[in-house]
Structure 1
């Protein structure tokens, strides 16, 4: 892997574990990846400021020998933190609440504010902070530089990569449409930003002067070699690490990643109000007609959270968000350290 990337991040191998939001990340997974010479990550977009402070403390205690780790936040889109659900938004989900024997919500608790989250994260000062969904505010980038924190930003198009570089981000993650989980498009709609990894990575590598991580559809050593051939300095892998022993994914999710259903993934707004790639399951099929009706993030995400949690706790693959990229069928249920070794 490129020396400029490994030196910048303080890692041995140019392998970054993708950060998973919504509770799918785990401290043991991040610690195992960092201990194996990569960069372990934790998605903190769902955590309160106090939760973020505690998380960084846990990561520091778990990651051995002062090795680096990464904490991820979502940059909010304009106006989204002021949104509230309508009665129709709640009513649309009533049959699913009843099916899972849950009480229909009678109020709405908005998620933590980004400004509060990032202030707590900056104060905790992890070695690396990554962002998705946009360019962080200038005052945030200035503070990361003052504190010696390395920043990563996710781009789904060349224009987004250029915007991240202009905004002072240290490393650009070129995330192809092959990738699992949420699409991070922020300059154009997702439907206009679906560039495959093989098309995106070389264009981004040519366009920016900062190190580039390739992401999307990379799950084994062949994908790592291909990313390097395309001009990437390293790789970020999500789905492959979701399948590992230490990840926070449910038993049902891991079973789906290991089965034939992993060969079919779709982009859906059903689970969060934002497009995300997941293994096709009965809930996605049942709600397909409502794809354009569900409210945007974070409203739909908040309304769906109890359903997702209940389904995961029951190992109910029919009603849970089975995030997965298009190379999911290549993933294997092995310890994270063994997986890193296999990528090398």
Structure 2
């Protein structure tokens, strides 16, 4: 009994520490706006290292999880170092919370150097009171033909996360690629993903504990094959998806879909992006040079969502950038116009 009490007290105390640390504004000047595609520094003035990730909100604090890239290594040379986390009270100023998962285990284990762990997503399970992390996992020395989903969990949002196991999604012996984890209003968690091989887009229901799929995956009728980098939200009873095409590390045109049911039929709503990124001169045909990975819900504001994109630089992934833009709604369609600089006042 005392061990359980200690663990709960530890989580509470850590939460208080994070809250005080994140909300303190006396130690350094704070930023007041988001500047898409520009170098984003944390509170210690170091480049944020959290690529392909997600942002969740818990007890007044946002947590940004993403791939930690090792400086000086390329994607070919296995730049993945694990999963990094940052915390913020305003979505603009971020404080380093350290590594949540490290790829430093012996070569006989899954999470060893030269494996690849991509696109981490974290979901809170109210029933188990645990945070569950998912990431695309390619095992060391096995290439990219078979893609697993790695699963880790933690009692607190700032970790540490303990690796549990891996599974093959999509009812396929080769697993699934890019994915989104979507929690519906009733707490049911769904795994949207592109199935290997063939790249059909599918969805499967997860168990109540979120640790494994439950039953068969179904093809999402209406979602174009080779749809990657999905992000899913629900608004006014309809499901909305932001995604990309399939072109490796190179950017392509974004795509979007909407549906009245998780399983479809999904309706294509075209490319939601508009405008030009002045830093690289790229517009909608290349999604400003980025690729989607998540849509953030902004707490305390109505219909306030932020689309997260990554600018991938496979030769120098440590230098990969971020594009965050406010999402606008036109019925069940989304629009994501370029903005050189913006803040949360963009949401009324």
* Same-fold status (TM-score > 0.5): no
Q: Which has the higher strand share?
A: 2
Q: Give the alignment's TM-score, normalised by structure 2.
A: 0.29
Q: Which has the higher helix share?
A: 1
Q: Give the alignment's TM-score, normalised by structure 1.
A: 0.29
Structure with the bigger RCO (C-alpha within 8 Å, sep 6+) is 1
